[in-house]
Structure 1
Amino acid sequence: MTAPFALRNALRSAGANAVLIAMAAVMLLPFAWMLLIVMRSPSEIFSDPFGLPEGFGIVADNFRNAFVTVPMARFLVNGAVVASVLLALQLAVSVPAAYALAKFEFSGRKLLFAAVVAALCVPIQVPMLPIYIALAYAGALDSYFALIFPFIFSPFAIFMLRQQFKAFPDEIIQAARLDGFSEIEILLKLIVPSARPVIAAFAVFSITAHWNDLYWPLIVVSSQDMATPPLGMLYFRDSGLGTDYGALMAGAIVTVTPVMVIFLVAQRQFIKGLTMTGLK
């Protein structure tokens, strides 16, 4: 009975692995096609779109054109500034809020947490019109402030961190208070270090979402100088070399690479953070 059972397990495992490999291949196909286009001239792209490249000399030219045709470096800097500053502000707001909701008893705490959960159900597009009108009246459009301000309050971050902080032992907090720790010291020296995987998981979510965001920058940005990477790709398409798909795909690779590197570096902490908060 052992041999058939082991054989069934092996077949089941092989079948599951085959399905996962097939799904991974489907997901990676667009990236493989991007690489093929970067390594080919426009004539090769249209004459044999699914063939292998004949040479690699065109690669440097395509990447050079990606940075010459549009200010790609400026787009990358804008994306980095928006994503990093926004993440810092989100954590500065969400960490104290989550700590208060998890460890303090005050009137209206449950109602406030219910409002945070309800905010998770509201699509981001719903409040954008009044926010846009307010920014327009304030003369703050086409600026870093306009790109960052609407997303500083993150119900998702508060929810994730509150779930983690709530599991932190109250006895340790009480002992720290008896030792003379202030609430800020307890938060920064005890609570936050224990939640590093959760913070890393949220950081991956936040950076990926706002680096790849096209909807809001398309609304509030009107100049190339303030364009983020996804919006910058639209400027590239509208430029004089809009039909140079090799250079266009080179720009897309440059845009995607930082997010992929961040995820690969933080992958272990990302998975651990999702497990700690119960999100699967």
Structure 2
Amino acid sequence: MSLRRIGATITAHTVLIGLAGLILLPYVWVLLTAARAPSEIFSNPFGLPTEPGIIVENFRRAFTSVPMLRFLGNGAIVTASLLILQLLIAIPSAYALAKLRFAGQGLLFALIIASLCVPIQVPMLPLYLGLAHLGALDSYFALIFPFVLSPFAIFLLRQQFKSFPDEIIQAARLDGFSEFEILTRLIVPSAKPAIAAFAIFSITAHWNDLYWPLIVVSSQSMATPPLGMLYFRDGDLGTDYGAMMAGAIVVIAPIMIVFLFAQRHFIRGLTMTGLR
């Protein structure tokens, strides 16, 4: 290897390590804050903690001062329900758009593409008014219903299904396979990376969502993890920043674990979909 290539490699890795450090800096600050006593948070915000045992106390308060397990349970119910319902709708819809022929197919796909350009804030007011009229606010239904139909999932899976060989589908039909069997036994297994990629997007987006729960949730018992972080504020005592940062670590951890286990499928799914 020439000196020029060695220098380029070292430079590239140095830049990447620097960028990684910038990205990780907020997480390091959160961890340091969770390990500090309240008196140190403002007096020594960037120094090392002087009372290592305080981190245990902060995590204890994170679970006792607010119903943290309830928040995590609500987040799990909402994200898991949404992912299942989104895939149940998106998979057959994407298959129909990719492999079947019917009137208005092009228009329907154009509407799906157009809906990707609509900010999520646009339909929120009519949705809120509709849910209020039905008396469905402050419920799992209010948290789940507006996001059940995912145009992004339909688009992503349609692009993946489009590349599946038509010859195999025709052969399966000649062998007596129904369209449902073709979808479940042939198409879906070949699209697992794309499905995993969408699952990461969906879980991350809805687990971290604060905007919609802040609008439709009014009780602490229905709060999702990001909304639950607001309950660490106290009008008389102020914000318990140590416990809040400990709670933030607890909230972030499930997403990080999911991504670490699924990152190979996630990257493969994005790469395969992008190549088609």
Does residue 236 (structure 1) correspond to residue 232 (structure 2)? The answer is yes
Q: 1:241 to 1:201 in 2, by over 3 A?
A: farther
Q: SS in structure 2 opposite 1:118?
A: helix
Amino acid at match of 2:67: P
Aligned to 1:121, what secondary structure does the other structure show? coil
Q: Which residue of 1 aligns with 2:137?
A: 141
User: 1 CA distance for matches of 2:131 and 2:35?
Assistant: 43
CA gap of 1:241–1:268, structure 2 versus 1, over 3 A, is farther
* Residue correspondences, number: 276
Gapped regions of structure 1 (runs ≥ 5): none
C-alpha separation in 2, matches of 1:166 and 1:207: 25
Aligned partner of 1:220 in structure 2 is: 216
- TM-score of the aligned structures, taking structure 2 as reference length: 0.97
Structure-2 change in CA distance of 1:193 and 1:240 (3 Å) = farther
- Partners of 1:239 and 1:264 lie apart in 2 by 38
SS in structure 2 at match of 1:53: coil
The CA RMSD over aligned residues, in Å, is: 1.4
Q: Compute the displacement of 1:241 (Å).
A: 5.5
Instruction: Say if 1:201 and 1:269, in contact at 8 Å, map to a contact too.
Output: yes
Q: 4+ runs of 1 displaced by more than 6 Å?
A: none
State which of 88, 92, 95 in structure 1 corresponds to 2:91: 95
Counting aligned pairs with the same residue, the percent is 70
Gaps of 5+ in 2: none
Q: Does 1:128 align with 2:110?
A: no
Between the aligned partners of 2:221 and 2:38, the Cα distance in structure 1 is 29
Q: Which residue of 1 aligns with 2:151?
A: 155
Contact 1:168–1:191 (CA<8 Å) still a contact in 2?
A: yes
Equivalent position of 1:7 in the other structure: 3
Confirm whether residue 27 of structure 1 aligns to residue 20 of structure 2: no
SS at match of 1:266: helix
Q: Which deviations, in whole Å up to 9, do the C-alpha atoms of 1:166-208 show, x marking residues without a partner?
A: 0000111111111111111110110000000000000000000
Q: Name the CA distance, whole Å, in 2 between partners of 1:180 and 1:268.
A: 35
2:81 matched to which residue of 1?
85
Alignment equivalent of 1:116, drawn from 92, 112, 135: 112
Matched, 1:245 2:265: no
Q: What SS does the aligned partner of 1:116 have?
A: helix
Q: Give me the whole-angstrom Cα distance separating, in 1, the residues matched to 2:256 and 2:238.
A: 26
Letter in 2 for 1:223: S
Separation in 2 of the partners of 1:238 and 1:136? Answer: 29
Q: 1:199 to 1:164 in 2, by over 3 A?
A: same
- The answer as to whether partners of 2:196 and 2:269 remain within 8 angstroms in 1 is yes
> Is 2:232–2:243's contact at 8 Å kept on the other side of the alignment?
no
Distance of 2:198 and 2:24 partners within structure 1: 24
Offset, 1:47 = 2.2
